[in-house]
Amino acid sequence: MSANSVYLAYLVAAVLFILTLKGLSSPISSRRGNMFGMTGMAIAVLTTLSLTHNVTYILLAIAVGGTIGAIVARRIEMTAMPELVAAMHSLVGLAAVLVAMAAFNNPVAYGIALPGEPLHSSNRIELFIGTFVGAITFTGSIIAFGKLSGKLSGRPLRFAGQHWLNLLLGIVMLGFGAAFFMNPSWMPFLIMTAIALVLGVLLIMPIGGADMPVVVSMLNSYSGWAAAGIGFTLNNNMLIIAGSLVGSSGAILSYIMCKAMNRAFFNVILGGFGGEAAAEASGDGEQKTYRSGSADDAAFLMSNADSVIIVPGYGLAVARAQHAINEMSKVLSDKGVKVRYAIHPVAGRMPGHMNVLLAEAEVPYEQVVEMDEINNEFADTDVVLVIGANDVVNPAAKNDKSSPIYGMPILDVYKARTVLVVKRSMATGYAGLDNDLFYMDKTMMVFGDAKKVVEDIIKAID
């Protein structure tokens, strides 16, 4: 392909990527957005392949990676989607590090230096930035994967002086980066990379499970900036544009997540929220009374209501109850009950987790309402069914100034006339906080597996 044809193809792909983000901003247009993204990526990949004369190894890598990806995609459960996303982020970071190493090892082959000439100063900066961001993304994403999958504890891991250690390591890493800039050689480059790998672990381990949605979107942003940095090294405009789009969208999403939790970004990164709260909750010996009922009781209340709002949480995903809850909604709607779903921005383990689950169950888009739009309607709602959610409906965020989540925007479930809560037990949520909603006079607890409870409710309604 001629240079002009390459630029034109990359421009078309870039426009399609922008349209992808626009499409993904709404559930109604998300399918179209995905199609734009896949088309743009196909154009970008084919255009890049046209620039090389030996594509055998590239095609082999695509075949192997594509096969593995297809197998994983078919086998992965919706409950495992958050850790899958974290795992994908780690691969992007690793790719950035490996490409930087390959480019530094043979800069002539990558077109960033002439034979016998040293690397240009701008290329040294690009290699440095792409490498350390990619390395932090790689190990940080692995730790996030471990926390999300349950292989590592969701509680924050802290030790005395950890912030000072991180600061010291960051300064040392920048020092070796400066040494690499002044005299490009393997020793400062590898030491800088090793420190960045350690920093990725140390930065994510202190972050508690309640902040995982922010961490996922943050790592998404990091992976984009790592890709953009390597794009500069390879002089690939498409990689720069795609990486910048991912990086900026991830950063904006991180801001939205932090706003939804009423927390500052650096407070999330440095705070490790969840540890003390869990300890306090587990050490509180106070016995509180609550009211429990059966699936038949829940069916009677909802079938005789005029309006029902369903609040899904991570427990819905664990029980794989999204299809059952959609069937229950249809049964209630056939009886003339107005049914809607209330979505909190940080419900689940990643941004949009509940939206993905409900879309997979083909819940009508018009029934799915975001927190800001539906909060004013809880007071006029007959029954709210909370299924697997905990922290995002905790009234302590509104009325307990001593609570770690005080000030965090929540779904105002406590204002409804009747609240039904489906849980396996009275255990605390991912943040480790007890929930006063469960002990209110208007609340009835229905214990059991969410899918089984919902199926029993459907039978009772029929």
391 has catalytic annotation: yes
Residues with Cβ < 8 Å from 224, sequence gap 6 or more? Answer: 242, 243, 244, 245, 246, 247, 248, 249, 250
Q: Which of 296, 306, 334, 391 is catalytic?
A: 391
Closest residue by Cα to residue 210 from 293, 314, 291: 314
Taking the C-alpha atoms of residue 117 and residue 107, their distance in angstroms, rounded to an integer, is: 10
Residues with Cβ < 8 Å from 449, sequence gap 6 or more? Answer: 319, 424
Taking the C-alpha atoms of residue 282 and residue 267, their distance in angstroms, rounded to an integer, is: 24
Q: How far is CA 412 from CA 53, 208, 219, 343, 377, in A?
A: 61, 24, 30, 11, 9
Instruction: Count the Cβ atoms, other than its own, within 10 Å of residue 173.
Output: 22
CA angle 39, 43, 48 (to 5 degrees): 150
Q: Are 388 and 314 in contact (CB under 8 A)?
A: yes
Q: Are 266 and 214 in contact (CB under 8 A)?
A: no
Q: Are 336 and 330 in contact (CB under 8 A)?
A: no
The residues annotated as belonging to the active site are 391
